[in-house]
């Protein structure tokens, strides 16, 4: 398996623009997580899905952020409109969930810079 695949790896945009980050989890994994990492706040859990259904979005900073998982092999995290404080590395992770070891598999991240 290729692992968790994220795109784009780098995104530079201007304030007010819409940003869409994409994630393809490992095939067969039931859970998908979106994390954000900044120097100030470290790694923060934004939202996670189980079987394509959002379970906990309490970490989503505000209404400008939205996440979807239309099928088991694809998820998006959208920021509209983007702001400079959204600049961060966004990680997607997946796991097989119940019955497994609890290991999360992370993608390489999408580095977002909002000017």
Least CB distance to another protein at residue 40 (A) = 11
Strand partners for 23: 6, 75
Confirm if 105 and 4 have CB atoms less than 8 A apart.
Answer: yes
Q: Which is nearer to another protein, 79 or 92 (CB)?
A: 92
Least CB distance to another protein at residue 101 (A) = 7
Q: Which is nearer to another protein, 10 or 85 (CB)?
A: 10
Cα–Cα distance measured from residue 102 to residue 96, given in angstroms and rounded to the nearest whole number: 8
Q: How far is CA 82 from CA 5, 54, 115, in A?
A: 23, 22, 9
Confirm if 101 and 2 have CB atoms less than 8 A apart.
Answer: no
Q: Which is nearer to another protein, 64 or 89 (CB)?
A: 89
Confirm if 70 and 77 have CB atoms less than 8 A apart.
Answer: no
Would you state the structure tokens that stand for residue 68, as one six-digit string? 């979807």
Q: Which is nearer to another protein, 14 or 100 (CB)?
A: 100
Least CB distance to another protein at residue 81 (A) = 27
Least CB distance to another protein at residue 82 (A) = 22
- Can you give the binding site for another protein, defined by CB under 8 A? 4, 30-31, 33, 35, 42-43, 45, 48, 50, 55-56, 91, 93, 95, 97-109
């Amino acid at each position: 398996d290729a692992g968790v695949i994220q795109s784009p790896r780098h995104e530079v945009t201007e304030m007010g623009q819409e940003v869409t980050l994409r994630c393809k989890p490992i095939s067969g994994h039931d859970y998908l997580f979106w994390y954000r990492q900044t120097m100030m706040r470290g790694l923060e859990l934004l939202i996670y899905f189980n079987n394509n259904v959002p379970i906990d979005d309490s970490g989503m900073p505000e209404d400008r952020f939205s996440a979807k998982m239309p099928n088991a092999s694809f998820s998006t995290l959208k920021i509209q409109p983007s702001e400079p404080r959204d600049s961060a590395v966004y990680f997607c992770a997946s796991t097989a969930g119940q019955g497994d070891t609890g290991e999360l598999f992370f993608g390489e991240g999408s580095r977002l810079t909002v000017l």
